[in-house]
C-alpha cells in the first residue's frame, strides 16, 4: 500500500513537471537570430511609408462624393452642377499636387 502511494505521488510529480515544461514560454534563441538579422540589409526589412496618405484619402472621398451627387435623385437646390464642377476641380488640383511632389 505504501509503495502504491509513493508511486502515485511520483507519477503526479512527473506529470506536473512535464506540464510546466510544456506550457512555459520558450526563450528566444539570440545566438541564431542575430546573424540572420545582421546579414539582411536594412532597406529590405523596413517597408516605405505611403506618400501623402491624407491626400490620397481625400481623393477617394472626393470621388465617392462626386459619384453620390451624380447619381442622386434630386438636384440639391440647383447646386448639383456647380458641386460636380467644384469637385472635379478639387480632384484635378490634388492629382497635380501628387504629380509634382518632390519627396
Total-model pTM: 0.51
Mean pLDDT of the chain: 77
In eight-state DSSP terms, residue 47 is P
Domain ranges of the chain: 52-103
Distances (CA, A) of 97 to 61, 76, 88, 101: 16, 30, 14, 6
What are the pLDDT digits (tens) for 17-42? 666 565 656 555 555 555 555 555 55
- Return the biggest CA–CA distance within the chain: 99
Percentage of the chain lying above the pLDDT 90 cut: 37
**Other beta carbons within 10 Å of 52:** 15
DSSP per-residue codes, 13-39: HHHHHHHHHHHSPPPP-HHHHHHHHHH
Amino acid at each position: 500500500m505504501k509503495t502504491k502511494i509513493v508511486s502515485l505521488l511520483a507519477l503526479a510529480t512527473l506529470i506536473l513537471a512535464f506540464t510546466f515544461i510544456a506550457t512555459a514560454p520558450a526563450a528566444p534563441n539570440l545566438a541564431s537570430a542575430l546573424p540572420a538579422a545582421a546579414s539582411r540589409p536594412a532597406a529590405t526589412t523596413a517597408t516605405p511609408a505611403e506618400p501623402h496618405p491624407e491626400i490620397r484619402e481625400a481623393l477617394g472621398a472626393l470621388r465617392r462624393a462626386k459619384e453620390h451627387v451624380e447619381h442622386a435623385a434630386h438636384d440639391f437646390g440647383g447646386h448639383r452642377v456647380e458641386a460636380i464642377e467644384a469637385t472635379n476641380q478639387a480632384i484635378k488640383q490634388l492629382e497635380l499636387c501628387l504629380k509634382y511632389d518632390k519627396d
